[in-house]
Amino acid sequence: MKIATFNINNVKRRLPNLLRWLRAAKPDIVCLQELKCLDAEFPAQAIERAGYGAVWRGEKAWNGVAILARRVEPVLTRTALPGDRDDHEARYIEAAVNGILVASLYLPNGNPQPGPKFDYKLDWFRRLKLHARKLLKQDLPVVLAGDYNVAPTERDIYPTRSWDKDALIQPKSRASFKSLVEQGWTDAIRARHPSEPMFTFWHYKRNRWPRDAGLRLDHLLLSPALAPRLAKAGVDRQVRGEDGASDHAPAWIVLS
């Protein structure tokens, strides 16, 4: 089973890129982020014609998450991260697919920091850790996949000082990710590639893609019930170089 996460950065605008990648990569499950469209605007018919069932939660102009499943319909289990009834941003969706519980998540960026947006990022992380701990206690096969908006360590960002004040690499952001993983989750990409950069994001500005000035922001965390099945992991870097591409590339795993 191949599971991928892909920040599509506007699913309507980049639908041709998405469909082309689906045909080439043939993932069984796909977690999408940054749909940037209302629920009614999600291109469900085109995705269905490509052979995928889908569940999604959209939001006008920003955010938005979805889960696609090849040749099956995902069974929706949750459309929001619990813990704050006043949080209406479309950042979390959860579904059961072929015996696995899959979450597609889009953590807040947190910039500018310090400030309310960074506080929201850290609180969202806190809520995610509470929910993730409950999932672990149920001993379920779970994948928490998405754009975490954190480069967890120095090897997850190209050599630079230009991001030093950015929320993506702040000590508190990294500590939140670290404490989440230390609950018992396996960082699948890093488990299979312990020393390679494995970048998944290259900003549009300052020629960062041609320079390979990237960050690893997109992660797939596996529960202990699923981690022993991890066979392969990688990043489809070439997708970032296509015409009209998202600023992210798909990250993926293969389970035995």
* Segment 109-139, tens digit of pLDDT: 999 999 999 999 999 999 999 999 999 999 9
Residues 6+ apart with CB under 8 A from 45: none
* Segment 220-239, tens digit of pLDDT: 999 999 999 999 999 999 99
pLDDT over 70, % of the chain? 100
Q: Report which DSSP code applies to 190.
A: H
pLDDT of residue 248: 98
* Segment 20-55, tens digit of pLDDT: 999 999 999 999 999 999 999 999 999 999 999 999
Confidence of residue 86 (pLDDT cuts 50, 70, 90): very high
pTM of the complete model: 0.98
The CATH number of whichever domain residue 164 belongs to comes to: 3.60.10.10
Beta strands 100-106 and 142-147: pairing type? parallel
Reduced 3-state DSSP string for 21-58: HHHHHCCCEEEEECCCCCHHHCCHHHHHHCCEEEEEEC
pLDDT of residue 157: 98
Confidence of residue 106 (pLDDT cuts 50, 70, 90): very high
Confidence of residue 88 (pLDDT cuts 50, 70, 90): very high
Number of domains in the chain: 1
- For residue 109, what are the domain limits? 2-255
How far apart, in whole angstroms, are the C-alpha atoms of residue 105 and residue 141?
17
pLDDT of residue 202: 98
Residue 205 burial (CB count, 10 A)? 8
* Segment 172-221, tens digit of pLDDT: 999 999 999 999 999 999 999 999 999 999 999 999 999 999 999 999 99
pLDDT of residue 54: 98
How far apart, in whole angstroms, are the C-alpha atoms of residue 181 and residue 66?
23
- pLDDT, the chain, mean: 98
